[in-house]
Amino acid sequence: MSVSGTCQICGTREITDDCDRCGKLVCATHYDKELGYCTECATEVRGTTEKPPTPDRDEFPDGVDTFRS
Ligand SMILES: [Zn+2]
Ligand SMILES: [Zn+2]
Protein backbone atom coordinates (compact mmCIF):
# COMPACT_ATOMS: atom_id res chain seq x y z
CA MET A 1 0.00 0.00 0.00
CA SER A 2 1.49 3.26 -1.00
CA VAL A 3 0.27 6.77 -1.25
CA SER A 4 0.94 8.81 -4.30
CA GLY A 5 1.00 12.50 -4.79
CA THR A 6 2.78 15.41 -3.30
CA CYS A 7 3.13 16.80 0.18
CA GLN A 8 0.12 18.84 1.24
CA ILE A 9 2.34 21.41 2.88
CA CYS A 10 5.01 22.15 0.32
CA GLY A 11 3.28 20.58 -2.65
CA THR A 12 6.51 19.57 -4.27
CA ARG A 13 7.97 16.56 -2.54
CA GLU A 14 6.71 13.03 -2.57
CA ILE A 15 4.47 11.93 0.27
CA THR A 16 6.12 9.68 2.77
CA ASP A 17 3.89 9.85 5.83
CA ASP A 18 0.56 11.02 7.08
CA CYS A 19 -0.07 13.10 10.15
CA ASP A 20 -1.67 11.25 13.05
CA ARG A 21 -3.33 14.45 14.18
CA CYS A 22 -4.81 16.12 11.13
CA GLY A 23 -4.34 13.36 8.58
CA LYS A 24 -2.40 15.52 6.23
CA LEU A 25 -0.18 13.72 3.75
CA VAL A 26 3.29 15.09 3.95
CA CYS A 27 6.83 14.55 2.77
CA ALA A 28 9.69 13.51 5.02
CA THR A 29 10.71 17.12 5.45
CA HIS A 30 7.33 18.08 6.81
CA TYR A 31 6.82 15.05 8.99
CA ASP A 32 7.89 14.90 12.60
CA LYS A 33 8.78 11.32 13.31
CA GLU A 34 8.99 11.84 17.04
CA LEU A 35 5.39 12.94 17.30
CA GLY A 36 4.02 11.28 14.23
CA TYR A 37 2.57 14.60 13.18
CA CYS A 38 3.11 16.94 10.31
CA THR A 39 5.36 19.87 11.07
CA GLU A 40 2.38 22.20 11.35
CA CYS A 41 0.82 20.13 14.09
CA ALA A 42 4.20 19.52 15.69
CA THR A 43 4.78 23.24 15.86
CA GLU A 44 1.37 23.76 17.42
CA VAL A 45 1.80 21.02 19.94
CA ARG A 46 5.34 21.85 20.83
CA GLY A 47 5.06 25.58 20.58
CA THR A 48 2.82 25.84 23.61
CA THR A 49 4.33 23.26 25.88
CA GLU A 50 7.76 21.92 25.24
CA LYS A 51 10.76 22.94 23.26
CA PRO A 52 12.38 20.75 20.66
CA PRO A 53 15.10 18.68 22.31
CA THR A 54 17.55 18.96 19.47
CA PRO A 55 19.05 22.36 18.73
CA ASP A 56 19.13 23.13 15.05
CA ARG A 57 21.90 25.63 15.07
CA ASP A 58 24.51 24.34 17.37
CA GLU A 59 28.09 23.41 16.89
CA PHE A 60 28.74 20.21 15.07
CA PRO A 61 32.48 19.65 15.30
CA ASP A 62 32.14 16.15 13.94
CA GLY A 63 29.40 16.89 11.47
CA VAL A 64 31.21 15.25 8.61
CA ASP A 65 31.65 11.96 10.33
CA THR A 66 29.81 10.03 7.68
CA PHE A 67 32.37 7.41 6.91
CA ARG A 68 32.45 4.27 8.93
CA SER A 69 34.84 1.46 8.35
ZN1 LIG B 1 6.63 18.93 2.24
ZN1 LIG C 1 -0.96 17.60 11.09
CA-wise closest residue to 39 among 19, 53, 15, 56: 19
Q: What is the pLDDT of residue 1?
A: 44
Q: Kindly report the average pLDDT of the chain as a whole number.
A: 83
Q: Are 32 and 38 in contact (CB under 8 A)?
A: yes
Per-residue pLDDT tens digits for 26-51: 999 999 999 999 999 999 998 865 55
- Note the ligand closest to the C-alpha atom of 37: 2
* Ligand nearest to C-alpha 32: 2
**How much is the pLDDT for 4?**
75
Distance of CA 57 from the midpoint of ligand 2 (Å): 25
Q: What are the residue ranges spanned by the domains of the chain?
A: 1-50
- Output the CA 61–ligand 2 centroid distance in Å: 34
Q: How far is the CA of 1 from the centre of ligand 1 (A)?
A: 20
Task: Mention every residue, 6+ apart, whose C-beta is less than 8 A from residue 32.
Answer: 38, 39, 41, 42
